[in-house]
A and B are shown apart, each in its own frame.
Chain A
Amino acid sequence: MIAEIGHFALVLALCVALVQAIVPLVGARRGVDSWMAVSGPASTMQFLFIAIAFGALMNAYVTSDFSVMNVAQNSHTEKPMLYKVAGVWGNHEGSLLLWVTILSLFGFAVTLFGRNLPPGLRSRALAVQAMISVGFLLFILLTSNPFARIEPPPIDGSGLNPILQDPGLAFHPPFLYLGYVGFSMAYSFAIAALLEGRVDPAWARWVRPWTLAAWIFLTCGIVLGSWWAYYTLGWGGWWYWDPVENASFMPWLAGTALLHSAVVVEKRDALKSWTILLAIVAFGFSLLGTFLVRSGVLTSVHAFATDPKRGVFVLGLLVLAVGGSFSLYAVRAPAMKMGGLFAPISREGSLLFNNVLMATGAATVLLGTLYPLFADALNLGKVSVGPPFFNAVFLPLMAPMVVVMAVAPMMAWKRGDLAGVLGRLKVVAALALAAAALVWFLQGGSAGPWWTAGGFALAVWLGLGTLVDLGGRIGLLRDPGRALGRALRLPRSSWGMVSAHFGLAVFIVGLTASSAWTIEKIQTQAIGETVQVGDYAVTLKAVETVPGPNYTAARATFDIARDGQSVALMQPEKRQYRMPPRPTTTAAIRSGIAGDLYVVIGDEDIKGGFVTRLYYKPCVLWLWAGGALLVLGGLISLADRRHRIGAPARARVAGVGAKA
């Protein structure tokens, strides 16, 4: 019964979304206030109905109602409660329901917080949001109904893939979707602005925090996914340039570019048409990501949907949304008023340069991901595009971006003084070169890869360059006595920028060191045998069988010694799940600032002993720390008072008070 209520609520939500997509739009065109006002209650109702549907599916999972096919196929009574809840979005139908739930939540948020938006803009944006809702609700109801029943219901479900039963992955999809769908906000407002033919700083003030929020969620989602891959897949890889990963990385790149160009619109009233384009592209990539993952067109390790009917539907949706908005853009954007002037050497100019690099990066990932498909379709032969290609093309594009990243924040708006800025960065440049030389010397010259020196030089340049900029902003050398006071008064968005840029520098250290200097030992190890991994002596002590909640594990115990002193015991497991019956490996990881010791136990060898895989991975913690600093920077920036509703008025009063 509850499942039927959920299904019915989805149909009602579709009806409401149809009304919301049409009536406010016509009202805004004709200037009928009462028609425009429909958008508010409609978005509230839409959210309520979809929330009811989501709750109904959640209920079916929590109570293990196996008469619902979706639950029977993806859940099991023995599964821990966390994974019963996470099971709701661990499958095709449920994850789409999560997608529209989040979409309607954002629409509701516009109604809730957007009271001081111009009514025309708000109702048009909500209508666009509703159009996306209509598309996805139709998709769910016609091809992927999560509430379909099964007769007779099975005694128990078939379970969730055990490698997906992990806290990191339980929260990975919601974060990713909050990011994907969050970009719909920028998209809807971009389309609304095109329809109105006007983009002003007020538009950017509204779009910026929502884009920032989406970006934070997406960053979190990607980092969680990488972290999960690192500790579950059993050999410490964390990025594979897999199509599904690329699907989330493309909107991230476009979103990062959008975030920065929205700053220029808000502060300088320039780059408007470029920002609108990026807003369309960012959400277009989100839709494309959904299409790539959901259609099974690029079957990869984590793509689970393979029904072509669904693929054609999402493709149609994608063509309609992206094609429609690009056409609208082509017609309307040229008429948009040019904003503030600026020279190529200026903060706007350098932001634009990096924007173009990031957009090119996103296009490269797109090209690499789709090229095998095109080549196949056009009979150019079967081509594989894998990590070696992306590393060879994408990374060189990003290197100049990092160089400019240290310079850009120090430039003045409108017209910058490049020589002056470079003068302030002289010491940083010298230190970056010194770091490169030191790294080259420590790794024994060409005994290590050639690019490590470059990676460290970039990291030092960006990290210290960001700190020099911060020092300049608070007058650390000019007037050290008041520096602390100035630091406290610095806008939070500046602190956010410092944190995020510094985070990228930290990330580059982790990326370079862990890719270049991983030590790997793979062997058959007898009980009591010791293997030396870098500075650590790793001894296999015992392997025993241990029961788990829904699996049985073979647990190995390793003794870790350094300089003859035992420092830790590590216990990796090889688990055999009961439902579905699958083995997984759980690595034991000992993290430190210098590096991680990563220990995996494999099969028993017929000749005695066990296959063991022992790794020492330098600076992996720096990757996660860098990701955390990016997210932290986003959060600090989001807390900036200028981003809060009604803040402009208050900020002005506060500014006068401070001067007096």
Chain B
Amino acid sequence: MRYSLLASLVLVLAVTSPALAVNPDEMLKDPAQEARARELGKDLRCLVCQNQSIDDSDADLAKDLRIIVRERISAGDTDQQVKTFVVDRYGDYVLLKPPFKASTLVLWLGPFALFGGAVALFARFYRRRKAGAGLPAPAPLSPEEQRRLDSLLKESRQ
């Protein structure tokens, strides 16, 4: 409930001022570290926003998270350690790319399973077609049909 109220507030905010997230005062001195922080920020969700990463969002919470990420990087964490640090506190929900595990199996494998299924289905379709093509030749034309065919051919030649 608290979150949904917050979310609606933030939604208004987000529309109010277009995404101008990272501010100069938050940024790290070392450009390489700052670049890592930006990349990490793109994978982390602003928890009170709708579908925005902390890198895009203007919300206060996003700013706090951006600062946490930068603090961890300054403390010498690897990218993975920073992510683990944030996930330990906020849960998987904070990751915009969900981790591969039992509850996300359908999400990660679903598309490939679907494609495999479709290919298998069409492979069967081709095989059945081929089997169908091997059927005995159709019965020869009756004299009546032969006459009609001849007259049709004659007609089209004129």
Contacts and interface: CB of A to CB of B under 8 A. Distances in A.
A367 B110 contact: yes
Contacts of B122: 352, 356
Contacts of B15: 161, 163, 301, 582
- Give me the 4 closest cross-chain CB pairs, A-B, nearest first: A386-B96, A388-B97, A364-B111, A234-B18
Interface string B111-138: 1001100110010001001001100000
Interface of A: 161, 163, 232-235, 237, 240, 242-243, 298-301, 338, 341, 343-344, 352, 356-357, 359-360, 363-364, 367-368, 371, 375, 380-389, 392-393, 397, 522-524, 582-585, 600, 602, 611, 613
Nearest to B107: A371
Contact of B93 (A233, A301, A384, A388): A384
Contacts of A359: 118
B129 A341 contact: yes
A389 B111 contact: no
A242 B20 contact: no
A371 to B, nearest CB: 5
8 contacts: A299-B8, A301-B51, A360-B111, A360-B118, A367-B106, A383-B93, A388-B43, A393-B111
A381 B95 CA distance: 13
Contacts of A341: 129, 133
B97 A392 contact: yes
A414 to B, nearest CB: 12
A341 B96 CA distance: 46
A393 B95 CA distance: 16
B121 to A, nearest CB: 9
Given A161-B15, A300-B50, A384 B20 contact: no
Contacts, number: 136
B115 A357 contact: yes
A360 B96 contact: no
- Give the bracket for the number of chain B residues in contact with chain A: 35 or more
B37 to A, nearest CB: 12
Interface of B: 7-8, 11, 14-25, 27, 42-43, 45, 50-53, 56, 91-98, 103-104, 106-108, 110-111, 114-115, 118-119, 122, 126, 129, 132-133
Contact of A381 (B25, B91, B106, B119): B91
A344 B129 CA distance: 11
Contact of A583 (B17, B21, B25): B17
Contact of B107 (A161, A242, A367): A367
B135 to A, nearest CB: 12
B115 A234 contact: no
Interface of B is mostly: helix
B20 A602 contact: yes
Given A234-B19, A582-B17, 5 more contacts: A163-B18, A235-B56, A338-B129, A383-B93, A386-B43
B119 A524 contact: no
Given A381-B103, A392-B97, A360 B115 contact: yes
A341 B18 CA distance: 55
A593 B94 CA distance: 38
A545 B6 CA distance: 34
B86 to A, nearest CB: 12
Contacts of B25: 524
Nearest to A379: B103
A343 B133 CA distance: 11
A380 B101 CA distance: 11
Among B17, B93, B108: residue with most chain A CB under 10 A? B17
B22 A522 contact: yes
A389 B20 contact: no
B20 A585 contact: yes
B119 to A, nearest CB: 7
A413 to B, nearest CB: 15
Contacts of B126: 343-344
Contacts of A234: 18-20
A386 B111 contact: no
A527 B132 CA distance: 79
A386 B24 contact: no
A161 B18 CA distance: 12
Given A383-B103, A386-B96, A363 B114 contact: yes
B45 A301 contact: no
Contact of A242 (B51, B104, B132): B51
A356 B98 contact: no
Given A381-B92, A522-B23, A387 B111 contact: no
